Structure 1
Amino acid sequence: PQVQRPVDDYPSLAQISGHLMNSIFLDSLEYDVERMERINDMLGVIPPNVRQKYQSSLHPIESLVISPSQCLDRIASKYLHVLPTSIRVFLHGIGATRSSGSSILSYLLFERRFCQELIALGYHDCMVQAKEIEAFMASD
Structure 2
Amino acid sequence: MKMATDLKTRVLDNDGYEETTRQEVRDLRNNVFDQWVTLSLLGPTPVTVSGSKVRDSALDVLSQMDVTRDLAYQLNHGPHEDADSAEDAAEVYEDSLRALDELAFSLIERVDEFAAVASAALDEDGTGNRELSARGA
TM-score range, shorter chain: 0.3 to 0.5
Bigger Rg over Cα: 1
- Which structure features the higher share of helix residues? 2
